């Protein structure tokens, strides 16, 4: 049997298939680029209904005048205009129709845009518009997932729809029961009174229902965000593969880091000849210091341990840089400073004592003479 006609168990709980890893920022970004975001359609519908209802409430007098004007125009010319042969009739009707509908349609579009903007932010992608024939193939598994007897999502949607119908029913009952006497007397009232009463009751029910549905859409939005997160969960293998694709192969990253360390080490060793003194452990650590009167304090220009420490000492000897043995100071500076740092103030005094033995007032004096000082 074709896979398209089978029920895929992976459409149910994420944990049931081993998808226990939370989605990363990369996963969210890819889903967003594909047009997949967490949003509540109930919020979009409720906000659109509320804004349209409020707009009709304020625009109703003007719309009623337009309707009366349209009816008056056509009824007074019923014997003059041939709706089949006179194209002017269609143009006039279209003009009245646009005057009646465009404000409501414009507000509905603004409401739809604004409700999406609140939930997902401003973004645009054309990927959902790309033709995909897989979307028209029936997936019965997804249908069963959304069916109320097969999943938590279906049960939630069923309960939500029943509750919404109950809310609208209660609002309608309270509104009508409160004015039942006026409705009973409409048979004695004139047309205008009947129209205004029915319109006011309908508008009241519409606005109250929209406000309540808007409040009910908040829990639905929270649930949609949770469900969206669940749908993006990954297995451990998928998470590792995504990390590899996002950050590159671990072996390549390791080689790049090693190469970067080599470049830093080479640059650091090139600065050792500029040092005024190299203090050592003497076997495990070496720290090269530079100082002049323009500096706030002695600066670390190179440091290393074991083989690198020995290499620093060799370069220092080859370039006539004084080498002083002071294990406690060497270990402290190696642990507490980085290359390019001014050494902590608490070590200035002991460092000054070491520099005093080698520092010549004329810093341009040959290194050999400074070694002998």
Q: What single DSSP character describes residue 276?
A: S
Q: Domain spans of the chain?
A: 3-236, 254-372
Please state, as a whole number, how many other Cβ atoms lie within 10 Å of the Cβ of residue 234. 19
Q: Residue range 54-74: average pLDDT? A: 86
What global pTM score does this model have? 0.50
- Which residues are bridge partners to 360 per DSSP? none
pLDDT at 310 over 80: yes
Question: Which pLDDT does position 124 carry in this prediction?
Answer: 66
Q: How far apart are the first and last CA of the chain?
A: 93
Helices (H), 39-151: 41-76, 87-120, 140-146
How far is Cα 232 from Cα 244, in angstroms, rounded to an integer?
18
pLDDT at 361 over 50: no
Q: What is the pLDDT of residues 285-307, one digit of tens each?
A: 888 888 877 888 888 888 888 88
| Secondary-structure percent of the chain, ordered helix, strand, coil, rounded to 5 | 70, 5, 25
Least confident of 65-69, 144-148, 181-185: 144-148
Please compute the mean of the pLDDT values over residues 106-127 and round it to a whole number. 80
CATH architecture of 254-372: 3-Layer(aba) Sandwich (3.40)
Q: pLDDT-based confidence at 334, cuts 50/70/90?
A: confident
CA distances from 22 to 14, 221, 226, 233, 236 (A): 10, 19, 11, 5, 10
Place of tokens 């409409």: 186
Q: How far is CA 158 from the centre of its chain?
A: 30
Q: Rounded mean pLDDT of the chain?
A: 76
365 band by pLDDT with thresholds 50, 70 and 90: very low
How far apart, in whole angstroms, are the C-alpha atoms of residue 268 and residue 213?
67
User: CA torsion sign, 323 to 327 to 332 to 334?
Assistant: positive
| Per-residue model confidence (pLDDT) at position 369 | 42
Segment 176-204 shows an average pLDDT of: 84
Kindly indicate the confidence band of residue 2, based on its pLDDT and cuts at 50, 70 and 90. very low
At 333, the pLDDT band (50, 70, 90 cuts) reads: confident
Pick the more confident residue, 82 or 56.
Answer: 56
pLDDT, position 362: 42
pLDDT for 7 equals: 39
Report the alpha-carbon distance of residue 33 to residue 91 in Å, rounded. Answer: 44
């Amino acid at each position: 049997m074709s896979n398209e006609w089978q029920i895929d168990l992976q459409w149910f709980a994420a944990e049931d298939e081993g998808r226990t890893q939370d989605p990363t920022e990369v996963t969210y970004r890819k889903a967003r680029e594909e047009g997949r975001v967490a949003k509540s359609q109930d919020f979009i519908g409720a906000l659109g209904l509320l804004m349209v209802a409020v707009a009709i409430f304020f625009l109703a007098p003007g719309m009623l005048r337009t309707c009366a004007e349209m009816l008056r125009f056509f009824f007074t010319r019923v014997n003059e205009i041939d709706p089949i042969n006179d194209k002017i009739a269609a143009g006039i009707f279209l003009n009245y129709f646009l005057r009646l509908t465009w404000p409501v349609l414009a507000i509905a579009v603004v409401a739809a845009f604004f409700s999406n903007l609140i939930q997902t932010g401003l973004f645009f992608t054309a990927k959902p518009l790309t033709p995909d024939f897989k979307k028209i193939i029936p997936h019965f598994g997804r249908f069963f997932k959304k069916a109320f007897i097969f999943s938590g999502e279906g049960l939630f949607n069923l309960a939500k729809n029943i509750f919404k119908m109950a809310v609208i029913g209660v609002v309608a009952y309270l509104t009508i029961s409160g004015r039942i006497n006026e409705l009973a007397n409409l048979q004695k009232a004139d047309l205008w009174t009947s129209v205004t009463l029915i319109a006011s009751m309908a508008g009241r029910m519409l606005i109250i229902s929209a406000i309540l549905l808007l409040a009910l859409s908040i829990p639905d939005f929270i649930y949609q965000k949770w469900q969206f997160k669940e749908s993006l969960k990954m297995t451990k293998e998928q998470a590792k593969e995504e990390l590899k694709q996002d950050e590159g192969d671990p072996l390549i990253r390791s080689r790049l880091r090693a190469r970067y360390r080599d470049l830093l080490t080479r640059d650091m060793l090139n600065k050792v000849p500029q040092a005024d003194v190299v203090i050592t452990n003497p076997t495990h650590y070496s720290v090269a210091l530079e100082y002049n009167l323009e500096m706030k304090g002695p600066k670390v220009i190179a440091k290393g341990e074991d083989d690198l420490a020995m290499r620093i000492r060799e370069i220092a000897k080859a370039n006539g840089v004084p080498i002083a043995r002071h294990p406690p100071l060497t270990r402290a500076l190696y642990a507490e400073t980085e290359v390019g740092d001014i050494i902590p103030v608490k070590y200035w005094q002991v460092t000054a004592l070491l520099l005093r033995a080698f520092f010549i007032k004329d810093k341009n004096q040959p290194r050999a003479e400074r070694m002998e000082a």
